[in-house]
Amino acid sequence: GAGVSQSPSNKVTEKGKDVELRCDPISGHTALYWYRQSLGQGLEFLIYFQGNSAPDKSGLPSDRFSAERTGGSVSTLTIQRTQQEDSAVYLCASSGGGETQYFGPGTRLLVL
Amino acid sequence: GENVEQHPSTLSVQEGDSAVIKCTYSDSASNYFPWYKQELGKRPQLIIDIRSNVGEKKDQRIAVTLNKTAKHFSLHITETQPEDSAVYFCAASLPGGGADGLTFGKGTHLIIQP
């Protein structure tokens, strides 16, 4: 079966513009996670969805970041008024109810 | 919240030798400890995981050990091969994964010297 997919794979944007990143989890996975990975760094947890709800949004770096999930499947991460420090790889992972998470290929975001 | 420390940050070993990467965690309630391998430009791939009800798990050339009392766990790779070169991340999770997700270590860049 298909794994986690993300789009776009690469995104270059100008400082101040908004960007929208998409994640398609593995079919049937109810849990979905967003992480951020800066160059040469570890993975920073951003937000978790169980179904369509996100119980805790405190991991989002600032109020410019928001995420939603509809239909218990696709999720979008939106970054408003992008800044250069937002440049990173944004990874999505999904889980079938246990702890094991399967990652997508990521979206490489570059803010000029 | 959970805090995971990982050492070393870089590890260089001769092909055929063993490699050991160590991690410590802070929250004694954590009960799931996966290891991910990330090749350059690729997604993290789960290579092995262990739950807190066992002390050791092995899968061919890789093994993970867990010491709950000391709150540390280690990845062991034997008979290393060039394709083992990658960045390895350890992680810890509270029961059920949930709202805190996985807390990752900062990664170990493993270099296999021919």
Percent helix / strand / coil, chain A, rounded to 5: 5, 50, 50
pLDDT at A97 over 80: no
What is the tens place of the pLDDT at every residue in A59-91?
899 999 999 998 889 999 999 999 999 999 999
What is the tens place of the pLDDT at every residue in B4-55?
999 999 999 999 999 999 999 999 989 999 999 999 889 999 999 998 888 9
CB contact under 8 A, B100 and A45: yes
Amino acid A93 reads A
CB contact under 8 A, B97 and A43: no
Nearest to B49 among A42, A43, A100 (CB): A100
Contact B76, B57 (CB under 8 A): no
In chain B, the largest separation of any two C-alpha atoms, in whole Å, equals 43
Please name which of A86, A77, A35 lies closest in space to residue A59, comparing C-alpha atoms.
Answer: A35
Amino acid A7 reads S
